[in-house]
Chain A
Protein backbone atom coordinates (compact mmCIF):
# COMPACT_ATOMS: atom_id res chain seq x y z
CA UNK A 1 0.00 0.00 0.00
CA UNK A 2 0.99 3.58 -0.33
CA UNK A 3 -0.13 7.01 -1.40
CA UNK A 4 -1.74 7.40 -4.77
CA UNK A 5 1.00 7.79 -7.34
CA UNK A 6 3.71 6.15 -5.30
CA UNK A 7 3.94 3.31 -7.78
CA UNK A 8 2.20 0.41 -6.05
CA UNK A 9 0.82 -1.18 -9.15
CA UNK A 10 4.05 -0.73 -11.07
CA UNK A 11 5.86 -2.39 -8.21
CA UNK A 12 3.48 -5.33 -8.10
CA UNK A 13 3.95 -5.74 -11.81
CA UNK A 14 7.72 -5.68 -11.39
CA UNK A 15 7.60 -8.20 -8.55
CA UNK A 16 5.40 -10.48 -10.57
CA UNK A 17 7.86 -10.29 -13.43
CA UNK A 18 10.89 -10.98 -11.27
CA UNK A 19 9.26 -13.90 -9.50
CA UNK A 20 8.22 -15.43 -12.75
CA UNK A 21 11.71 -15.02 -14.14
CA UNK A 22 13.11 -16.76 -11.09
CA UNK A 23 10.59 -19.51 -11.39
CA UNK A 24 9.16 -18.73 -7.96
CA UNK A 25 5.49 -19.47 -7.69
CA UNK A 26 3.49 -16.40 -6.99
CA UNK A 27 -0.12 -15.28 -7.10
CA UNK A 28 -1.47 -11.85 -7.86
CA UNK A 29 -4.64 -10.36 -6.45
CA UNK A 30 -5.80 -6.95 -7.60
CA UNK A 31 -8.06 -4.97 -5.28
CA UNK A 32 -8.00 -1.69 -7.18
CA UNK A 33 -11.27 -1.34 -9.06
CA UNK A 34 -10.14 1.73 -10.96
CA UNK A 35 -6.69 0.69 -12.13
CA UNK A 36 -5.91 1.06 -15.79
CA UNK A 37 -4.92 -1.95 -17.78
CA UNK A 38 -1.65 -3.53 -16.82
CA UNK A 39 0.75 -5.82 -18.70
CA UNK A 40 0.40 -8.74 -16.30
CA UNK A 41 -3.12 -9.81 -15.54
CA UNK A 42 -3.98 -10.69 -11.99
CA UNK A 43 -5.07 -14.17 -10.96
CA UNK A 44 -7.95 -12.69 -9.00
CA UNK A 45 -9.05 -9.25 -10.03
CA UNK A 46 -11.75 -7.22 -8.35
CA UNK A 47 -12.58 -5.85 -11.78
CA UNK A 48 -13.78 -9.29 -12.88
CA UNK A 49 -16.35 -9.34 -10.15
CA UNK A 50 -17.20 -5.69 -9.79
CA UNK A 51 -17.58 -3.29 -12.68
CA UNK A 52 -16.44 0.09 -11.42
CA UNK A 53 -18.04 2.12 -14.19
CA UNK A 54 -21.28 0.21 -13.76
CA UNK A 55 -21.18 0.84 -10.04
CA UNK A 56 -20.81 4.56 -10.70
CA UNK A 57 -23.81 4.50 -12.97
CA UNK A 58 -26.09 2.17 -11.09
CA UNK A 59 -25.52 3.68 -7.68
CA UNK A 60 -25.18 7.21 -9.01
CA UNK A 61 -21.83 7.74 -7.40
CA UNK A 62 -18.82 9.81 -8.21
CA UNK A 63 -15.44 8.16 -8.71
CA UNK A 64 -14.47 8.08 -5.02
CA UNK A 65 -17.79 6.69 -3.89
CA UNK A 66 -17.63 4.10 -6.62
CA UNK A 67 -14.22 2.86 -5.51
CA UNK A 68 -15.44 2.55 -1.95
CA UNK A 69 -18.62 0.76 -2.98
CA UNK A 70 -16.74 -1.53 -5.32
CA UNK A 71 -14.47 -2.54 -2.49
CA UNK A 72 -17.45 -3.07 -0.20
CA UNK A 73 -19.06 -5.32 -2.76
CA UNK A 74 -15.89 -7.30 -3.12
CA UNK A 75 -15.44 -7.60 0.62
CA UNK A 76 -18.76 -9.40 0.88
CA UNK A 77 -17.33 -12.06 -1.42
CA UNK A 78 -13.91 -12.21 0.07
CA UNK A 79 -14.51 -15.59 1.64
CA UNK A 80 -14.47 -16.95 -1.89
CA UNK A 81 -11.08 -15.36 -2.46
CA UNK A 82 -9.82 -16.92 0.74
CA UNK A 83 -10.98 -20.37 -0.29
CA UNK A 84 -9.19 -20.09 -3.58
CA UNK A 85 -6.04 -18.87 -1.88
CA UNK A 86 -6.14 -21.59 0.71
CA UNK A 87 -6.49 -24.16 -2.00
CA UNK A 88 -3.51 -22.81 -3.88
CA UNK A 89 -1.40 -21.99 -0.87
CA UNK A 90 0.64 -25.20 -0.62
CA UNK A 91 2.15 -24.42 -4.01
CA UNK A 92 2.71 -20.73 -3.54
CA UNK A 93 5.65 -18.75 -2.26
CA UNK A 94 4.14 -15.30 -2.42
CA UNK A 95 0.76 -13.74 -2.90
CA UNK A 96 0.90 -10.15 -4.01
CA UNK A 97 -2.10 -8.00 -3.23
CA UNK A 98 -2.45 -4.62 -4.88
CA UNK A 99 -4.69 -2.19 -3.03
CA UNK A 100 -6.80 0.73 -4.31
CA UNK A 101 -5.03 3.89 -5.39
CA UNK A 102 -6.28 6.09 -2.60
CA UNK A 103 -4.72 4.80 0.55
CA UNK A 104 -7.50 5.56 2.96
CA UNK A 105 -10.10 3.67 0.96
CA UNK A 106 -8.31 0.66 2.33
CA UNK A 107 -6.80 1.67 5.64
CA UNK A 108 -9.77 3.44 7.15
CA UNK A 109 -12.68 1.51 5.74
CA UNK A 110 -14.61 -1.39 7.14
CA UNK A 111 -14.06 -3.44 3.99
CA UNK A 112 -10.32 -2.80 4.04
CA UNK A 113 -10.19 -3.96 7.63
CA UNK A 114 -12.26 -7.06 6.85
CA UNK A 115 -10.02 -8.02 3.97
CA UNK A 116 -6.81 -7.39 5.90
CA UNK A 117 -7.90 -9.40 8.87
CA UNK A 118 -9.18 -12.23 6.75
CA UNK A 119 -5.83 -12.56 5.03
CA UNK A 120 -3.75 -12.17 8.17
CA UNK A 121 -5.74 -14.87 9.92
CA UNK A 122 -4.97 -17.39 7.23
CA UNK A 123 -1.50 -16.47 6.05
CA UNK A 124 1.60 -14.65 7.19
CA UNK A 125 0.83 -11.15 6.06
CA UNK A 126 2.90 -8.04 5.87
CA UNK A 127 2.48 -4.55 4.54
CA UNK A 128 4.66 -3.15 1.83
CA UNK A 129 4.41 0.60 2.39
CA UNK A 130 5.45 2.20 -0.85
CA UNK A 131 6.94 5.69 -0.70
CA UNK A 132 7.32 8.04 -3.63
CA UNK A 133 10.94 8.93 -2.93
CA UNK A 134 11.31 12.02 -5.13
CA UNK A 135 8.18 13.53 -3.61
CA UNK A 136 9.16 12.93 -0.03
CA UNK A 137 12.34 14.92 0.04
CA UNK A 138 11.16 17.69 2.36
CA UNK A 139 11.60 16.85 6.06
CA UNK A 140 8.10 17.80 7.15
CA UNK A 141 6.48 15.93 4.27
CA UNK A 142 8.67 12.96 5.13
CA UNK A 143 7.70 13.15 8.75
CA UNK A 144 4.03 13.43 7.97
CA UNK A 145 4.25 10.44 5.66
CA UNK A 146 6.08 8.36 8.27
CA UNK A 147 3.53 9.23 10.92
CA UNK A 148 0.87 8.02 8.57
CA UNK A 149 2.72 4.73 8.17
CA UNK A 150 3.00 4.48 11.94
CA UNK A 151 -0.72 5.04 12.18
CA UNK A 152 -1.26 2.13 9.81
CA UNK A 153 1.00 -0.04 11.93
CA UNK A 154 -1.27 0.44 14.92
CA UNK A 155 -4.39 0.08 12.88
CA UNK A 156 -3.45 -3.19 11.19
CA UNK A 157 -0.85 -4.68 13.58
CA UNK A 158 1.18 -6.13 10.76
CA UNK A 159 4.91 -5.85 10.07
CA UNK A 160 5.89 -3.19 7.59
CA UNK A 161 8.51 -3.19 4.87
CA UNK A 162 9.14 0.45 4.07
CA UNK A 163 9.78 0.53 0.36
CA UNK A 164 11.26 3.65 -1.16
CA UNK A 165 10.26 3.50 -4.78
CA UNK A 166 11.53 5.42 -7.81
CA UNK A 167 15.14 5.26 -6.73
CA UNK A 168 16.01 5.53 -10.38
CA UNK A 169 14.91 9.15 -10.13
CA UNK A 170 16.19 9.93 -6.66
CA UNK A 171 18.22 7.75 -4.38
CA UNK A 172 16.68 7.07 -1.00
CA UNK A 173 19.91 7.47 0.93
CA UNK A 174 18.77 10.84 2.28
CA UNK A 175 15.82 9.07 3.87
CA UNK A 176 18.02 6.37 5.34
CA UNK A 177 20.25 9.08 6.79
CA UNK A 178 17.28 10.84 8.32
CA UNK A 179 16.03 7.61 9.81
CA UNK A 180 19.32 6.47 11.23
CA UNK A 181 20.76 9.78 12.33
CA UNK A 182 18.54 12.21 14.16
CA UNK A 183 21.06 15.01 13.81
CA UNK A 184 20.93 14.77 10.06
CA UNK A 185 17.16 15.03 10.17
CA UNK A 186 17.39 18.11 12.37
CA UNK A 187 19.82 19.65 9.91
CA UNK A 188 17.33 18.93 7.16
CA UNK A 189 14.63 20.70 9.14
CA UNK A 190 16.85 23.68 9.79
CA UNK A 191 17.75 23.88 6.15
CA UNK A 192 14.09 23.89 5.31
CA UNK A 193 14.35 27.26 6.96
CA UNK A 194 10.91 27.51 8.48
CA UNK A 195 10.34 29.22 11.74
CA UNK A 196 8.62 26.39 13.47
CA UNK A 197 7.65 28.25 16.60
CA UNK A 198 5.54 26.08 18.83
CA UNK A 199 5.68 23.31 16.31
CA UNK A 200 9.33 22.71 17.02
CA UNK A 201 8.70 21.03 20.36
CA UNK A 202 5.98 18.92 18.86
CA UNK A 203 8.22 17.99 15.97
CA UNK A 204 10.98 17.02 18.32
CA UNK A 205 8.66 14.76 20.30
CA UNK A 206 7.35 13.20 17.13
CA UNK A 207 10.89 12.64 15.95
CA UNK A 208 11.47 10.56 19.06
CA UNK A 209 8.38 8.58 18.22
CA UNK A 210 9.56 8.06 14.69
CA UNK A 211 12.98 6.96 15.89
CA UNK A 212 11.33 4.11 17.71
CA UNK A 213 9.06 3.45 14.78
CA UNK A 214 11.97 3.03 12.40
CA UNK A 215 13.45 0.35 14.64
CA UNK A 216 10.36 -1.79 14.16
CA UNK A 217 10.52 -1.97 10.43
CA UNK A 218 12.71 -2.81 7.51
CA UNK A 219 13.53 -0.30 4.85
CA UNK A 220 14.61 -0.83 1.28
CA UNK A 221 15.04 1.23 -1.84
CA UNK A 222 13.73 -0.06 -5.13
CA UNK A 223 12.95 1.09 -8.59
CA UNK A 224 9.86 -0.62 -9.93
CA UNK A 225 10.72 0.88 -13.28
CA UNK A 226 14.27 -0.47 -13.56
CA UNK A 227 14.14 -3.48 -11.25
CA UNK A 228 16.83 -2.14 -8.97
CA UNK A 229 16.87 -3.35 -5.39
CA UNK A 230 14.31 -6.11 -5.82
CA UNK A 231 16.46 -8.88 -4.38
CA UNK A 232 17.14 -6.82 -1.25
CA UNK A 233 13.44 -6.20 -1.12
CA UNK A 234 12.62 -9.89 -1.08
CA UNK A 235 15.15 -10.53 1.66
CA UNK A 236 13.43 -7.89 3.77
CA UNK A 237 10.07 -9.44 2.99
CA UNK A 238 11.23 -12.90 4.03
CA UNK A 239 12.55 -11.49 7.30
CA UNK A 240 9.31 -9.65 7.92
CA UNK A 241 7.38 -12.85 7.30
CA UNK A 242 9.41 -14.58 9.98
CA UNK A 243 8.76 -11.64 12.25
CA UNK A 244 5.08 -12.05 11.62
CA UNK A 245 5.21 -15.62 12.76
CA UNK A 246 7.31 -14.83 15.79
CA UNK A 247 5.88 -11.56 17.07
CA UNK A 248 2.72 -10.54 15.30
CA UNK A 249 0.84 -13.75 14.91
CA UNK A 250 0.73 -14.75 18.60
CA UNK A 251 -0.52 -11.27 19.43
CA UNK A 252 -3.14 -11.52 16.77
CA UNK A 253 -4.33 -14.92 17.88
CA UNK A 254 -4.52 -13.79 21.48
CA UNK A 255 -6.54 -10.76 20.57
CA UNK A 256 -8.73 -12.80 18.32
CA UNK A 257 -9.48 -15.32 21.01
CA UNK A 258 -10.38 -12.49 23.33
CA UNK A 259 -12.58 -10.78 20.87
CA UNK A 260 -14.03 -13.71 18.98
CA UNK A 261 -17.51 -13.21 20.32
CA UNK A 262 -17.37 -9.43 19.91
CA UNK A 263 -15.71 -9.60 16.50
CA UNK A 264 -18.10 -12.02 14.94
CA UNK A 265 -21.04 -10.15 16.29
CA UNK A 266 -19.80 -6.79 15.11
CA UNK A 267 -18.58 -8.00 11.75
CA UNK A 268 -21.81 -9.81 11.26
CA UNK A 269 -23.62 -6.58 11.93
CA UNK A 270 -21.35 -4.64 9.56
CA UNK A 271 -21.82 -7.23 6.88
CA UNK A 272 -25.53 -7.21 7.49
CA UNK A 273 -25.51 -3.45 7.25
CA UNK A 274 -23.42 -3.61 4.08
CA UNK A 275 -25.76 -6.19 2.60
CA UNK A 276 -28.77 -4.17 3.60
CA UNK A 277 -27.33 -1.02 2.04
CA UNK A 278 -26.46 -2.93 -1.08
CA UNK A 279 -29.85 -4.51 -1.30
CA UNK A 280 -31.51 -1.16 -0.87
CA UNK A 281 -29.37 0.37 -3.58
CA UNK A 282 -29.72 -2.72 -5.69
CA UNK A 283 -33.41 -2.13 -5.82
CA UNK A 284 -32.73 1.05 -7.71
CA UNK A 285 -30.51 -0.50 -10.27
CA UNK A 286 -30.05 -3.71 -12.15
CA UNK A 287 -27.60 -5.20 -9.72
CA UNK A 288 -24.81 -2.66 -9.93
CA UNK A 289 -22.25 -4.82 -11.59
CA UNK A 290 -21.31 -6.54 -8.40
CA UNK A 291 -23.14 -9.77 -8.69
CA UNK A 292 -20.46 -11.94 -10.18
CA UNK A 293 -18.83 -14.86 -8.50
CA UNK A 294 -15.20 -14.41 -7.73
CA UNK A 295 -13.36 -15.71 -10.73
CA UNK A 296 -9.89 -17.04 -10.82
CA UNK A 297 -7.78 -16.38 -13.84
CA UNK A 298 -4.53 -17.70 -15.09
CA UNK A 299 -2.90 -14.36 -14.70
CA UNK A 300 -0.18 -13.12 -16.99
CA UNK A 301 1.95 -16.08 -16.18
CA UNK A 302 1.32 -19.18 -14.20
CA UNK A 303 0.63 -17.98 -10.75
CA UNK A 304 1.34 -20.25 -7.89
CA UNK A 305 3.10 -19.49 -4.68
CA UNK A 306 3.21 -20.00 -0.97
CA UNK A 307 3.85 -16.61 0.54
CA UNK A 308 1.33 -13.88 0.43
CA UNK A 309 2.45 -10.35 0.11
CA UNK A 310 0.34 -7.33 -0.08
CA UNK A 311 1.40 -4.11 -1.49
CA UNK A 312 -0.72 -3.98 1.46
CA UNK A 313 0.44 -7.25 2.77
CA UNK A 314 2.31 -10.35 2.09
CA UNK A 315 1.73 -13.75 3.43
CA UNK A 316 3.45 -17.04 3.48
CA UNK A 317 2.57 -20.45 4.68
Chain B
Protein backbone atom coordinates (compact mmCIF):
# COMPACT_ATOMS: atom_id res chain seq x y z
CA UNK B 1 0.00 0.00 0.00
CA UNK B 2 1.20 3.49 -0.65
CA UNK B 3 2.83 5.47 2.08
CA UNK B 4 0.25 7.15 4.25
CA UNK B 5 0.53 10.61 5.62
CA UNK B 6 -1.21 12.96 7.97
CA UNK B 7 -0.97 16.68 7.43
CA UNK B 8 -1.16 18.22 10.85
CA UNK B 9 -2.64 21.71 10.68
CA UNK B 10 -4.27 24.32 12.81
CA UNK B 11 -3.81 27.86 14.16
CA UNK B 12 -0.51 28.74 15.74
CA UNK B 13 -0.20 27.52 19.29
CA UNK B 14 -2.88 24.86 19.07
CA UNK B 15 -0.40 22.07 19.68
CA UNK B 16 0.52 20.62 16.30
CA UNK B 17 4.05 19.71 17.29
CA UNK B 18 2.83 18.21 20.53
CA UNK B 19 0.30 16.15 18.62
CA UNK B 20 3.03 14.80 16.34
CA UNK B 21 5.15 13.87 19.30
CA UNK B 22 2.32 12.18 21.20
CA UNK B 23 1.19 10.30 18.13
CA UNK B 24 4.67 8.97 17.60
CA UNK B 25 4.96 7.94 21.24
CA UNK B 26 1.53 6.36 21.26
CA UNK B 27 2.28 4.23 18.21
CA UNK B 28 5.71 3.28 19.43
CA UNK B 29 4.18 2.00 22.65
CA UNK B 30 1.68 -0.28 20.98
CA UNK B 31 2.16 -3.95 21.57
CA UNK B 32 0.91 -6.81 19.50
CA UNK B 33 -0.44 -7.06 16.01
CA UNK B 34 -2.73 -4.75 14.21
CA UNK B 35 -2.51 -1.50 12.41
CA UNK B 36 -1.97 0.46 15.59
CA UNK B 37 1.62 -0.61 15.55
CA UNK B 38 3.03 1.56 12.90
CA UNK B 39 6.29 3.31 12.24
CA UNK B 40 5.54 6.99 12.60
CA UNK B 41 7.97 9.40 10.97
CA UNK B 42 7.73 13.12 11.54
CA UNK B 43 8.46 15.66 8.86
CA UNK B 44 8.63 19.34 9.61
CA UNK B 45 7.17 21.51 6.88
CA UNK B 46 7.23 24.81 8.75
CA UNK B 47 10.14 26.98 7.65
CA UNK B 48 9.35 29.44 10.42
CA UNK B 49 9.31 26.90 13.22
CA UNK B 50 11.14 28.30 16.15
CA UNK B 51 13.43 26.69 18.63
CA UNK B 52 13.16 23.15 19.75
CA UNK B 53 10.38 20.89 18.72
CA UNK B 54 8.27 19.00 21.19
CA UNK B 55 9.40 15.87 19.40
CA UNK B 56 12.87 14.56 18.79
CA UNK B 57 14.48 15.89 15.63
CA UNK B 58 12.22 15.43 12.62
CA UNK B 59 13.44 12.96 10.05
CA UNK B 60 12.92 15.47 7.32
CA UNK B 61 13.06 19.19 8.02
CA UNK B 62 12.27 21.85 5.46
CA UNK B 63 14.54 24.16 7.40
CA UNK B 64 17.46 22.24 5.92
CA UNK B 65 16.31 23.56 2.57
CA UNK B 66 15.37 27.06 3.64
CA UNK B 67 14.40 28.94 6.77
CA UNK B 68 12.21 31.97 7.27
CA UNK B 69 14.94 33.63 9.31
CA UNK B 70 17.44 33.39 6.47
CA UNK B 71 14.94 34.75 3.99
CA UNK B 72 14.04 37.65 6.24
CA UNK B 73 17.66 38.58 6.55
CA UNK B 74 18.70 38.02 2.97
CA UNK B 75 15.71 39.60 1.34
CA UNK B 76 14.64 42.07 3.96
CA UNK B 77 11.14 40.67 4.14
CA UNK B 78 8.82 40.65 7.11
CA UNK B 79 7.79 37.38 8.72
CA UNK B 80 4.78 36.86 6.46
CA UNK B 81 6.54 37.63 3.22
CA UNK B 82 9.42 35.41 4.28
CA UNK B 83 7.16 32.48 5.06
CA UNK B 84 5.38 32.72 1.73
CA UNK B 85 8.70 32.98 -0.04
CA UNK B 86 9.98 29.87 1.73
CA UNK B 87 6.96 27.84 0.74
CA UNK B 88 7.16 29.02 -2.83
CA UNK B 89 10.83 28.11 -2.82
CA UNK B 90 9.93 24.63 -1.62
CA UNK B 91 7.45 24.33 -4.47
CA UNK B 92 10.20 25.22 -6.90
CA UNK B 93 12.44 22.57 -5.39
CA UNK B 94 10.14 19.64 -4.94
CA UNK B 95 12.83 17.18 -6.00
CA UNK B 96 14.47 17.93 -2.70
CA UNK B 97 11.36 16.78 -0.88
CA UNK B 98 10.88 13.85 -3.19
CA UNK B 99 14.38 12.53 -2.53
CA UNK B 100 13.90 12.79 1.21
CA UNK B 101 10.53 11.08 1.19
CA UNK B 102 11.45 8.28 -1.20
CA UNK B 103 13.47 6.55 1.48
CA UNK B 104 10.39 5.66 3.43
CA UNK B 105 8.98 2.21 2.92
CA UNK B 106 5.51 1.19 1.96
CA UNK B 107 3.47 1.04 5.09
CA UNK B 108 5.41 3.80 6.79
CA UNK B 109 3.23 6.40 8.41
CA UNK B 110 4.34 9.95 7.72
CA UNK B 111 3.24 12.88 9.83
CA UNK B 112 3.78 16.35 8.44
CA UNK B 113 3.99 19.22 10.91
CA UNK B 114 2.59 22.03 8.75
CA UNK B 115 2.81 25.79 9.07
CA UNK B 116 -0.13 27.37 10.82
CA UNK B 117 -0.62 30.58 8.92
CA UNK B 118 -3.95 30.48 7.20
CA UNK B 119 -2.62 32.69 4.43
CA UNK B 120 -0.86 29.64 3.01
CA UNK B 121 -4.12 27.79 2.62
CA UNK B 122 -6.79 30.17 1.58
CA UNK B 123 -4.90 33.18 0.34
CA UNK B 124 -1.93 31.94 -1.61
CA UNK B 125 -2.64 28.26 -2.18
CA UNK B 126 0.89 26.99 -1.70
CA UNK B 127 -0.28 24.21 0.61
CA UNK B 128 -2.78 23.08 -1.99
CA UNK B 129 -0.04 22.81 -4.58
CA UNK B 130 2.11 20.92 -2.14
CA UNK B 131 -0.70 18.50 -1.39
CA UNK B 132 -1.31 18.04 -5.10
CA UNK B 133 2.33 17.11 -5.51
CA UNK B 134 2.23 14.62 -2.66
CA UNK B 135 -0.91 12.95 -3.92
CA UNK B 136 -0.67 13.21 -7.68
CA UNK B 137 3.08 13.38 -8.11
CA UNK B 138 5.62 10.58 -8.25
CA UNK B 139 5.34 9.86 -4.52
CA UNK B 140 1.63 8.97 -4.74
CA UNK B 141 1.08 9.35 -1.05
CA UNK B 142 -2.21 8.64 0.59
CA UNK B 143 -2.96 11.91 2.36
CA UNK B 144 -5.34 12.84 5.12
CA UNK B 145 -5.63 16.24 6.74
CA UNK B 146 -5.70 16.51 10.52
CA UNK B 147 -6.98 19.83 11.71
CA UNK B 148 -6.56 20.84 15.33
CA UNK B 149 -8.78 23.28 17.18
CA UNK B 150 -8.20 24.37 20.74
CA UNK B 151 -10.70 22.88 23.16
CA UNK B 152 -11.41 26.29 24.62
CA UNK B 153 -13.29 27.11 21.47
CA UNK B 154 -15.52 24.13 21.76
CA UNK B 155 -17.39 25.09 24.85
CA UNK B 156 -19.40 27.86 23.31
CA UNK B 157 -21.72 27.26 20.36
CA UNK B 158 -20.70 30.43 18.54
CA UNK B 159 -17.05 29.63 18.84
CA UNK B 160 -17.79 26.07 17.88
CA UNK B 161 -19.34 27.32 14.67
CA UNK B 162 -16.36 29.58 14.10
CA UNK B 163 -14.05 26.61 14.63
CA UNK B 164 -16.09 24.36 12.37
CA UNK B 165 -15.93 26.96 9.64
CA UNK B 166 -12.16 27.10 9.98
CA UNK B 167 -11.99 23.36 9.48
CA UNK B 168 -14.29 23.52 6.50
CA UNK B 169 -12.29 26.35 5.02
CA UNK B 170 -9.17 24.20 5.13
CA UNK B 171 -10.93 21.12 3.81
CA UNK B 172 -12.17 23.00 0.80
CA UNK B 173 -8.80 24.54 0.22
CA UNK B 174 -6.88 21.26 0.23
CA UNK B 175 -9.49 18.82 -1.07
CA UNK B 176 -8.28 15.80 0.87
CA UNK B 177 -10.21 13.90 3.53
CA UNK B 178 -9.84 15.55 6.87
CA UNK B 179 -10.15 14.58 10.49
CA UNK B 180 -10.93 17.39 12.93
CA UNK B 181 -9.52 17.18 16.40
CA UNK B 182 -10.17 19.06 19.58
CA UNK B 183 -6.75 19.68 20.99
CA UNK B 184 -5.96 20.00 24.71
CA UNK B 185 -9.23 18.33 25.58
CA UNK B 186 -7.74 17.39 28.92
CA UNK B 187 -7.63 21.05 29.88
CA UNK B 188 -11.31 21.64 29.50
CA UNK B 189 -14.30 20.16 31.26
CA UNK B 190 -15.14 16.91 29.45
CA UNK B 191 -18.83 17.36 29.95
CA UNK B 192 -18.80 20.78 28.36
CA UNK B 193 -17.21 19.37 25.25
CA UNK B 194 -19.59 16.46 25.07
CA UNK B 195 -22.51 18.74 25.47
CA UNK B 196 -21.44 20.84 22.52
CA UNK B 197 -20.63 17.80 20.40
CA UNK B 198 -23.93 16.11 21.17
CA UNK B 199 -26.04 19.14 20.50
CA UNK B 200 -28.20 18.92 17.49
CA UNK B 201 -28.54 21.99 15.40
CA UNK B 202 -31.66 23.26 17.12
CA UNK B 203 -30.11 23.08 20.55
CA UNK B 204 -26.95 24.69 19.32
CA UNK B 205 -28.72 27.56 17.70
CA UNK B 206 -30.84 28.17 20.78
CA UNK B 207 -27.72 28.69 22.83
CA UNK B 208 -26.19 31.23 20.51
CA UNK B 209 -27.92 34.33 21.62
CA UNK B 210 -30.44 36.51 19.95
CA UNK B 211 -28.42 37.81 17.05
CA UNK B 212 -27.45 34.42 15.75
CA UNK B 213 -30.61 32.57 16.62
CA UNK B 214 -33.32 35.11 15.88
CA UNK B 215 -31.79 38.26 14.60
CA UNK B 216 -29.78 39.30 11.64
CA UNK B 217 -27.71 36.17 11.47
CA UNK B 218 -30.54 33.72 11.88
CA UNK B 219 -30.81 32.34 8.31
CA UNK B 220 -27.06 31.96 8.15
CA UNK B 221 -26.88 30.20 11.50
CA UNK B 222 -29.59 27.78 10.54
CA UNK B 223 -27.91 26.97 7.25
CA UNK B 224 -24.62 26.29 9.00
CA UNK B 225 -26.35 24.18 11.62
CA UNK B 226 -27.93 22.08 8.89
CA UNK B 227 -24.54 21.41 7.33
CA UNK B 228 -23.08 20.47 10.69
CA UNK B 229 -26.01 18.11 11.21
CA UNK B 230 -25.70 16.52 7.79
CA UNK B 231 -22.02 16.19 7.55
CA UNK B 232 -20.16 13.91 9.86
CA UNK B 233 -17.21 15.24 7.94
CA UNK B 234 -17.30 18.06 10.42
CA UNK B 235 -17.33 15.71 13.36
CA UNK B 236 -14.78 16.54 16.00
CA UNK B 237 -12.74 14.07 17.95
CA UNK B 238 -11.41 15.17 21.31
CA UNK B 239 -7.75 14.49 21.95
CA UNK B 240 -7.01 13.73 25.52
CA UNK B 241 -3.39 12.63 25.53
CA UNK B 242 -4.00 10.61 28.67
CA UNK B 243 -6.87 8.67 27.21
CA UNK B 244 -6.05 5.64 25.06
CA UNK B 245 -9.53 5.58 23.61
CA UNK B 246 -9.05 9.07 22.34
CA UNK B 247 -6.06 7.97 20.29
CA UNK B 248 -7.80 4.87 19.05
CA UNK B 249 -10.70 6.90 17.76
CA UNK B 250 -8.46 9.37 16.00
CA UNK B 251 -6.31 6.76 14.35
CA UNK B 252 -9.35 4.79 13.32
CA UNK B 253 -10.87 7.74 11.58
CA UNK B 254 -7.62 8.74 9.95
CA UNK B 255 -7.13 5.17 8.81
CA UNK B 256 -10.56 5.09 7.24
CA UNK B 257 -9.68 8.21 5.36
CA UNK B 258 -6.36 6.75 4.28
CA UNK B 259 -7.31 3.10 3.93
CA UNK B 260 -4.26 2.27 5.94
CA UNK B 261 -3.75 -1.40 6.62
CA UNK B 262 -6.63 -2.61 4.53
CA UNK B 263 -6.14 -4.75 1.52
CA UNK B 264 -8.93 -3.76 -0.69
CA UNK B 265 -9.51 -4.79 -4.25
CA UNK B 266 -6.36 -4.38 -6.23
CA UNK B 267 -6.18 -0.77 -7.17
CA UNK B 268 -6.16 0.46 -10.68
CA UNK B 269 -2.58 1.26 -11.53
CA UNK B 270 -2.00 4.94 -11.30
CA UNK B 271 -1.12 5.79 -14.83
CA UNK B 272 -2.22 9.34 -14.78
CA UNK B 273 -1.68 12.06 -12.22
CA UNK B 274 -5.31 12.99 -12.58
CA UNK B 275 -6.35 9.82 -10.81
CA UNK B 276 -4.36 10.66 -7.74
CA UNK B 277 -7.18 11.96 -5.64
CA UNK B 278 -9.96 9.69 -6.81
CA UNK B 279 -9.33 6.68 -4.64
CA UNK B 280 -9.27 8.70 -1.50
CA UNK B 281 -12.47 10.33 -2.57
CA UNK B 282 -14.16 7.00 -3.20
CA UNK B 283 -13.00 5.73 0.13
CA UNK B 284 -14.35 8.77 1.81
CA UNK B 285 -17.72 8.35 0.16
CA UNK B 286 -18.04 4.78 1.37
CA UNK B 287 -16.81 5.58 4.80
CA UNK B 288 -19.06 8.55 5.04
CA UNK B 289 -22.07 6.30 5.29
CA UNK B 290 -20.49 4.14 7.92
CA UNK B 291 -19.00 6.84 10.02
CA UNK B 292 -20.94 7.76 13.04
CA UNK B 293 -18.15 9.53 14.79
Contacts and interface: CB of A to CB of B under 8 A. Distances in A.
- Interface of chain B, main secondary structure: helix
Nearest to A203: B172
Contact of A155 (B79, B122, B158): B158
Interface string B173-207: 10100000000000000000000000000000000
A212 B78 contact: no
B230 A150 contact: no
B173 A198 contact: no
B48 interface: yes
Interface in B84-114: 84
A172 B267 CA distance: 44
B123 A247 contact: no
B168 A147 contact: yes
Interface stretch (A75-83, A101-109, A161-169, A305-313): A101-109
Contacts of A102: 79-80, 117, 119
B118 A154 contact: no
A67 B79 contact: yes
Contacts of A155: 158-159, 162
Interface stretch (B34-42, B258-266, B280-288): B280-288
Contact of B217 (A105, A153, A206): A153
Contacts of B122: 3, 141, 144-145, 147-148
B125 A205 contact: no
A168 to B, nearest CB: 19
A254 B209 CA distance: 8
23 contacts: A3-B119, A4-B84, A5-B80, A5-B81, A60-B51, A62-B50, A101-B78, A102-B79, A103-B119, A108-B12, A140-B125, A140-B128, A140-B175, A147-B122, A147-B166, A147-B172, A151-B161, A199-B171, A209-B223, A212-B219, A215-B220, A216-B216, A251-B210
Interface of B: 11-13, 48, 50-51, 68-69, 72, 78-82, 84, 116-119, 121-125, 128, 150, 158-159, 161-163, 165-166, 168-173, 175, 209-212, 215-217, 219-220, 223-224, 226-227, 230-231, 233, 274, 277-278, 281-282, 284-285, 288
